[in-house]
Structure 1
Amino acid sequence: MQYRPLGRSGLKISQIILGTMNFGYLTDEAESFSIMDRALEEGITMIDTADVYGGPQKPDMEKGYGLSEEIIGRWLAQGRRRDQIVLATKLYQPMGYGPNDRHLSAYHIRRACDASLKRLKTDHIDLYQMHHIDRSTPWEEIWQAMDVLIQQGKISYVGSSNFAGWHLATAQGFAAQGRRLGLVSEQSLYNLTNRAIESEVLPAARYHGIGVIPWSPLAGGLLGGILNHPAGGRRAALVNQNEGLRSRIESYESLCHSLGEDPAAIALAWLMHQPGVTAPIVGPRLAEQLTLQLHATTIALDKEILARLDKIWPGSRGEAPEAYAW
């Protein structure tokens, strides 16, 4: 396992991050513990969660929100593990029915952090991430609230998720006014099938020294060898109904097989070869799935293979404005 600095911070994290969105929802506590045990044994040092994880991602407060954090908290309480990991969680999404039980007001930031600390059974969060941009709360308020949490020792670094490039620039501009480090990471949707962030988010992140953490690296299973899994549910149905998509996936899986590698491993390896990417998030439902995902760290893709992947899954034609102008 290799370790990379998170943005321009001094913090180093493993080149793969363990995501826990399935914990408490598709993965029970015993299996979640096995996955975290294996991850730690293999050198994965960053565990990522969110206050809303543990139930279906829709506004229904009866579906187990907070359960993922609770499971991680009970795992941490079993032994001396807390100082071996970089613990990351998020806030923004609704955690109750009240008008202030969501988003990024100073009121909610304080309450959300305290609630996450309680569920995680720890006194500090290493990376506290805004799960989405809040267009209704001024950055002066957001950074002031984060400053308080840092001063109190409750969080160490601040990150974002699902921000546009200009959101990153704006956040860093306001951070610089107060001589703050600002954002150290951005979690974005990024995989071979969806390369939209290459136009503006990745360039903005590189310029401002923000590490990029791709989520959904397998495009919800599309890049995981779906043609060999006929019982693939709605994703398989989507492929069968879209001739163009099916043709691309056939070409992709054929290339992977010619390399003697699983499609999922190639998808992860490709992300690790992209400039500006710090580490992708993997979200295994079972401990054995983590074995394949870890194998991706050993795969080297040469220029020819990267070019063939670009031909199958074209990118955004470069950075803006050249991507669409001159």
Structure 2
Amino acid sequence: MEYALLGPSGVRVSRLCLGTSLFGVAPEPAEAVKLVHAALDHGVNFVDTADSYGDLPHFDRPGVPPHHERESAEEILGRALRGRREQVVLSTKAMEPVGPGPNDRGLSRRHLMAQLDRSLRRLGTDHVDLFHAHHPDPDTPLDQTLAAFDDMIRQGKVRYAALSTYPAWQVTHALWICAERRLHAPVAVQTRYNLFDRTPEQELIPACRRFGLSLTAFSPLGGGLLAGPAKEYSGERRWGGGGFTAPQLGVAAALRSHAAEWGLPPAHLALAWVLSRPTVASAIIGPESVAELLDALPAAGLRLEPAQLAALTAIESYPKTADQMIAKRRSAHG
């Protein structure tokens, strides 16, 4: 396993981070514990979770106990980390709804403090290394959220603050507030980033480069589409959403074409490409079994040639559907 610095923290994290959003669903609890142990045994030291993962209704699917009968992802992860907590850079988040009450969500001081204590109990630890604002909260002034994070750090319950799914202008605003008020500033930004979602390249990556923050990429395999044939529950369907779009299918077809030409698994290409991008410290993967984890690990050390990286980067200019891709190839060959 290889490691990268996480922003200005001085902490090194594994280039692949173990994501736990589906813990308790896929994998089920016993397999999830085995998965965590296997990841640690193979050098993964970065694990990402959230207070809303695993036991909410939108994770329900046939063949799995309903949400009110499931443990949270944090509880399963806490059990898996017993005796091994110090090996892990542990990341969690708060903001998403976790109950029916009017204050069971958001980034208010009240909610953040309550959720951090809840997460610490469920994880079986006295601190988390990285605590994210899971999404922007339009109802809470940003300075209040950042002040709450600063207090958590001063209390010793959090080591570093971070942001998730924030646009570049809000990241910049947060850094200005922290500089003006001498608060502990966020060290990283978590965002969706993959071959068919290149939005971070427009403003977020330039902002992270300018201010020295790291980016951690979730959904680097596009919900599984870029790993190969789609599973029944992949993409947004994992959370009750829809399927893949025609442009996404076109990108996946182009990736498979390159993979066949170069003799490499599509998933390795997709992960290696994300890890090659500026400011990306780690790519968050969500394997559903130990076998899937072991299949993904070689991507952390894969070094693609400049021409290969250029070809992958250019995929967005390819035809946007598989049918168009086939038609273009046929026309090129007469």
Please report the TM-score for the alignment, with normalisation by the length of structure 1.
0.88
**Structure 2: how far apart are the matches of 1:162 and 1:82?**
27
Contact 2:91-2:132 within 8 A present in 1 as well: yes
Alpha-carbon distance change, 65 to 115 in structure 1, aligned in 2, over 3 angstroms: farther
**Structure 2: how far apart are the matches of 1:201 and 1:64?**
39
Contact 2:195-2:251 within 8 A present in 1 as well: no
Q: Which residue of 2 aligns with 1:192?
A: 195
> How many correspondences in the alignment?
308
Residue of structure 2 aligned with 1:128, choices 120, 127, 131: 131
How do residues 169-184 of structure 1 correspond to structure 2 at under 5 angstroms? 169-184=172-187
| 2:78 is the alignment partner of 1:73 | yes
**Structure 2: how far apart are the matches of 1:234 and 1:93?**
21
Q: Which residue of 2 aligns with 1:324?
A: none
Contact 1:59-1:94 within 8 A present in 2 as well: no
Contact 1:225-1:264 within 8 A present in 2 as well: yes
**Structure 2: how far apart are the matches of 1:233 and 1:28?**
15
Report how far residue 203 of structure 1 moved: 0.8
How do residues 1-326 of structure 1 correspond to structure 2 at under 5 angstroms? 1-55=1-55, 58=58, 62-63=67-68, 67-77=72-82, 79=83, 81-226=84-229, 232=232, 242=246, 245-314=248-317
Report how far residue 232 of structure 1 moved: 4.8
Structure 1 residue runs of 4 or more that deviate by more than 3 Å after TM superposition: 55-66, 231-239, 244-248
Contact 1:132-1:162 within 8 A present in 2 as well: yes
Q: Which residue of 1 aligns with 2:327?
A: none
Report how far residue 233 of structure 1 moved: 6.1
Contact 2:23-2:76 within 8 A present in 1 as well: yes
Alpha-carbon distance change, 202 to 151 in structure 1, aligned in 2, over 3 angstroms: same
Report how far residue 125 of structure 1 moved: 0.7
Alpha-carbon distance change, 292 to 257 in structure 1, aligned in 2, over 3 angstroms: same
Report how far residue 57 of structure 1 moved: 6.6
Report the 3-state secondary structure (helix = DSSP H, G, I; strand = E; otherwise coil) of the residue aligned with 1:217. coil
The superposition leaves residues 267-313 of structure 1 with CA deviations (integer Å, 9 ceiling, x where unpaired) of 00101111111110011011100112101022111111112112222
Report the 3-state secondary structure (helix = DSSP H, G, I; strand = E; otherwise coil) of the residue aligned with 1:17. strand
Alpha-carbon distance change, 147 to 97 in structure 1, aligned in 2, over 3 angstroms: same
RMSD: 2.4
The superposition leaves residues 76-98 of structure 1 with CA deviations (integer Å, 9 ceiling, x where unpaired) of 22x2x111111110000111111
Alpha-carbon distance change, 245 to 52 in structure 1, aligned in 2, over 3 angstroms: closer
Alpha-carbon distance change, 186 to 314 in structure 1, aligned in 2, over 3 angstroms: farther
Contact 2:92-2:128 within 8 A present in 1 as well: yes
**Structure 1: how far apart are the matches of 2:28 and 2:192?**
26
Amino acid at match of 1:75: A
Report how far residue 73 of structure 1 moved: 1.1
Report the 3-state secondary structure (helix = DSSP H, G, I; strand = E; otherwise coil) of the residue aligned with 2:8. coil
Report the 3-state secondary structure (helix = DSSP H, G, I; strand = E; otherwise coil) of the residue aligned with 1:110. helix
Q: Which residue of 1 aligns with 2:325?
A: none
Report how far residue 179 of structure 1 moved: 2.1
Amino acid at match of 1:54: G
**Structure 1: how far apart are the matches of 2:215 and 2:71?**
25
Amino acid at match of 2:23: F
Contact 1:91-1:131 within 8 A present in 2 as well: yes
Alpha-carbon distance change, 122 to 260 in structure 1, aligned in 2, over 3 angstroms: same
Report the 3-state secondary structure (helix = DSSP H, G, I; strand = E; otherwise coil) of the residue aligned with 1:280. strand
**Structure 1: how far apart are the matches of 2:310 and 2:23?**
36
Report how far residue 113 of structure 1 moved: 0.4
**Structure 2: how far apart are the matches of 1:66 and 1:203?**
39
Alpha-carbon distance change, 159 to 66 in structure 1, aligned in 2, over 3 angstroms: farther
**Structure 2: how far apart are the matches of 1:222 and 1:159?**
28
Q: Which residue of 2 aligns with 1:321?
A: none
The superposition leaves residues 218-242 of structure 1 with CA deviations (integer Å, 9 ceiling, x where unpaired) of 111221112xx6x656769956x83
The answer for unaligned runs of 5 or more in structure 1 is: 316-326
Amino acid at match of 1:34: K
Report how far residue 147 of structure 1 moved: 1.9
Report how far residue 2 of structure 1 moved: 1.5
Report the 3-state secondary structure (helix = DSSP H, G, I; strand = E; otherwise coil) of the residue aligned with 1:38. helix
The superposition leaves residues 160-213 of structure 1 with CA deviations (integer Å, 9 ceiling, x where unpaired) of 100000010011111111223411111101000110110001111111221100
